[in-house]
Chains A and B, each alone.
Chain A
Amino acid sequence: MRDYLIECRELYKSYGLRPALRGVNLDIGPGRIVGLLGPNGSGKTTLIKLLCGLLQPTRGTLAVDGQAIGPYTKSVVSYLPDRMYFADWMKATDLFDLFRDFYADFDYEKAIAMCQSLGVEPRDRLKSMSKGTKEKVQLVLVMARSAKLYLLDEPIAGVDPAARDFILRTILTNYNEEGTVLISTHLISDVEKVLDEAIFLKEGKISLHETVDNIREKEGKSVDALFREIFRAEPMEGGAF
């Protein structure tokens, strides 16, 4: 087994002239839950999209499970995007069929069972579902896979606190324990209990990568408190790093 599931070296990404990532070096091992934390616009979504191949880096290299991004890495990555990505005329079961066709690690029965526990009727058309229900379907699609890497982009951003707990519990009870879960969020107090490691992303660079227990032990404060401190410290900081 290799040491690292994700390896990034000097990763740069800019949109036109606007830099989003500015030299990210990152190693993440298997079998852990990692929080990708940062304010809006710090590059969280960009990093996740690079990892799942929706964006190409401007410079630098990245590998998932030792391979450059391609069909192999896509077959072991389960990605929850920050938006709806399916055609409305489909039923949830149509999507399950599609996932079963393309991903060898998709568990159809598990998906149906998850739907039942989440109160989703899998034979309903997506068009007739509420936004929250569609999000649940998308979560089911992602968590019914036994992937090596789960990339969850803001899974709890748009929902009320009660549903947040529910979603986190669904993730906790369903992810493949040999795999790694990378959760991007700015709602730190809600997720910090489930994390092994925290990565602070600040203006396109990693400013901290540490286990959460170490943070609490060393700093004597919660990850949330440390986050607020770091990101409040220099409110007027400009582009010069």
Chain B
Amino acid sequence: MDWKLDNNRPIWPQLSQQLARRIIAGVYPPGSRLPAVRELAAEAGVNPNTMQRALAQLEQEGLARADRTAGRLVTQDFAVLEAARLREAEAVIRDYFEAMSSLGYSRERAVELLKEEFQ
């Protein structure tokens, strides 16, 4: 999974979103330890302070929690994970409708096309 960063927007929200997606996708499984800030920062090619801020955001969302000995652990609270998954799904759906609308499809037509594709 590569980091995709858009320099036209603040970096840290993009980082925290992509970290969240990794957690939901199980790249970082529930209860596992997240890599150190410095490691993640180097991997994404960003400043450690920026990565720190992104991780703090994850903590605020409840997806990760700081552990005195082991750095940061991914949450094991499946309700939280499920909620995050749903949030991301909603974002994907929103994007879909936006993209379809820009192609000139109405919402109804977009839903129909989706159903046809599914069959």
Contacts and interface: CB of A to CB of B under 8 A. Distances in A.
The reply to whether A and B meet directly (CB within 8 Å) is yes
A95 interface: no
Interface of B: 5, 7-12, 38, 41-42, 44-50
Nearest to B43: A169
Contact of A195 (B10, B12, B47): B47
A80 B48 CA distance: 21
A127 interface: no
Given A32-B49, A33-B47, A196-B50, A169 B42 contact: yes
A177 interface: yes
Interface stretch (A40-48, A50-58, A84-92, A186-194): A186-194
Interface in A175-226: 177, 189, 192-196, 212-213, 216-217, 220-225
Interface string A145-175: 0000000000000000000010011001100
Given A33-B47, A172-B45, A196-B49, A222 B8 contact: yes
A126 to B, nearest CB: 28
A225 B12 CA distance: 19
A189 B6 CA distance: 11
B48 A193 contact: no
Nearest to A192: B7
A173 B7 CA distance: 21
18 contacts: A31-B49, A32-B47, A33-B47, A169-B42, A172-B38, A172-B41, A172-B47, A173-B38, A177-B48, A193-B7, A193-B46, A213-B50, A216-B10, A217-B10, A220-B8, A220-B9, A221-B8, A223-B7
B96 to A, nearest CB: 24
The 6 closest A-B pairs by CB, nearest first: A222-B7, A213-B10, A173-B42, A216-B10, A222-B8, A194-B47
A126 B112 CA distance: 69
B8 A216 contact: yes
Contacts of B48: 172, 177
Contacts of A177: 38, 48
A169 B45 contact: yes
A224 B47 contact: no
B42 to A, nearest CB: 5
B51 to A, nearest CB: 10
B54 to A, nearest CB: 11
Nearest to A168: B45
Contacts of B5: 193
A223 B50 CA distance: 15
Nearest to A32: B49
A194 B45 contact: yes
